[in-house]
Amino acid sequence: MPTRNREIDACPGVLATHQAADGAVARVRVPGGQLTAAAFATISAGAAELGDGTIELTSRANLQVRGLSDGAALSTRLGDAGLLPSATHERVRNILASPLTGRDGSTDVRPLVTTLDRTLCARPRLADLPGRFLFAIDDGRGDVAWLGADVSALLTSEDSAAILLGGQDRGLRTPLDGVVDTMLACAEAFLTFRTTEWRVAELTNGPDRIAALACPEGHLQDVECPEGHLHGMGPGRVGQADGLVSLVAGAPLGWLDRAQAAALVDTAAPLVVTPWRGIVVADLTPARADEMAGRLRETGLLLDPDAPLARVTACTGRPGCAKALADVRADAAPVPDTTLPVHWSGCARRCGRPRGRVVDVIATGNGYTTTVGDS
Ligand code: SF4
């Protein structure tokens, strides 16, 4: 199995893994975070039998399997389960979506996610997008539109959307049936301008140039975008519009161990990976939700919004990352006297840091420094 050349594009996939200090890492793209329990069971079994048993949740709502002994066997299993629909485009299927979309009374953007994914994979040129290029479709609540995606669609009504570029609103608007084509036109415009840049935000005047090329007639409208809230949702229980219940289970420090993954498989419910290192267990009857909450809590998953680790995240650190100056996952803990998210990093790169205002705890090789900052 090839390992990607970092000078070309360091983002791993399943077909091109990343060689970490603790073995090969495969990143499984999960467009919109939406997974059936059966698909998650395939990933979980792959992690248990071919990896070190852990599943890592990323800030792009993708899943990573670590310590792989046989990456080819994993890709075969995932392919058979329909999780690798395009060998050429597998690393560019980075699509965030509002995790509760269509379930709590909001407009359902899941069909848009499906169409975006299929259309993206059908356009050969878009296989050249960097593996870190990110799309987002926000159902209007403002939870994923402002997470720094390169191209975001933010619904402004039931039949229209704002298109944001590099997290910036340049007044680009489209009817709902034009969302996918407009988003992909923007991605193609990025490829036209790109030389060595990985992201829209790295291009000089990127949002303006992309908007002008992708929509030359101009669809600029004076429509307000909903405000964003970057830190999304924490653990808890959410009532659905159909009377059913979704449980939001937080993964401590963003990793699922074998028992936690097995408990999620056992729910046999639709799952949604969130960009806040959680898993939504959806469409449960209230009684089933009570039962499942108890079982998930027993494994150490976070079900309570005020759980001490609910807003604490960490990078890989030692021993998995060769750059790490500390075993941050062993050291990570809540920071007293703050309600902000806290992110522990093994070096100044701060991989996996949440967006927005965050308490950063960074290893120095001689302890940690603690600062508060925005991004
Ligand atoms: S922040 Fe540093 S130590 Fe942590 S995963 Fe990234 S490179 Fe490794």
Domain parsing of the chain, residue ranges: 85-232, 236-250+265-298, 312-373
Residue 220 has pLDDT above 70, yes or no: no
Determine the atom of ligand 1 nearest the C-alpha atom of 325.
3
- Taking CB atoms and a 6 Å cutoff, what residues make up the pocket around ligand 1? 315-317, 321, 323-324, 345-347, 349-351
Measured in Å, residue 107 CA sits from the centre of ligand 1 at 38
Q: What is the mean pLDDT of the chain?
A: 92
Cβ-proximal residues to 61 (8 Å cutoff; 6+ apart), any chain: 30, 32, 33, 96, 99, 273, 274, 275
The reported pLDDT for the residue numbered 226 is 57
Q: In sequence order, what DSSP letters do the residues of 170-218 get, joined into one string?
A: EEEEEEGGGHHHHHHHHHHHHHHH-SS-SSGGGSTTHHHHHHHHH-TT-
Question: DSSP class of residue 3?
Answer: B
Express each pLDDT in 269-302 by its tens digit: 999 999 999 999 999 999 999 999 999 999 999 9
8 Å CB contact between 304 and 237 = no
Residue 144 has pLDDT above 80, yes or no: yes
Express each pLDDT in 52-108 by its tens digit: 999 999 999 999 999 999 999 999 999 999 999 999 999 999 999 999 999 999 999
**Mean pLDDT within 203-207:** 94
Measured in Å, residue 356 CA sits from the centre of ligand 1 at 19
Sequence-separated contacts (24+) of 38-41 with Cβ below 8 Å: 38/81, 39/81, 39/82, 39/83, 40/261, 40/264, 40/265, 40/271, 41/265
The reported pLDDT for the residue numbered 7 is 52
Measured in Å, residue 150 CA sits from the centre of ligand 1 at 23
The reported pLDDT for the residue numbered 170 is 86
* CA dihedral of 99, 100, 103, 105, whole degrees rounded to 10: -130
8 Å CB contact between 110 and 102 = yes
Residue 128 has pLDDT above 90, yes or no: yes
Alpha-carbon distance of 152 to 144, in angstroms, equals: 8
Of the residues 19, 255, 313, 321, which should be mutated to test ligand 1's pocket, given the most ligand atoms within 8 Å of the CB? Answer: 321
Alpha-carbon distance of 150 to 134, in angstroms, equals: 5
8 Å CB contact between 64 and 55 = yes
pLDDT class of 171 with cuts at 50, 70, 90 = confident
The reported pLDDT for the residue numbered 5 is 40
Residue 201 has pLDDT above 60, yes or no: yes
Measured in Å, residue 51 CA sits from the centre of ligand 1 at 20
Domain 85-232: give its CATH architecture: 2-Layer Sandwich (3.30)
Handedness of CA 28, 34, 39, 44 (dihedral sign): positive
The reported pLDDT for the residue numbered 224 is 58
Measured in Å, residue 348 CA sits from the centre of ligand 1 at 7
Weakest-pLDDT range from 31-35, 40-44, 240-244, 302-306: 302-306
- What is the pTM assigned to this prediction? 0.93
The better pLDDT of the pair 44, 223 is held by 44
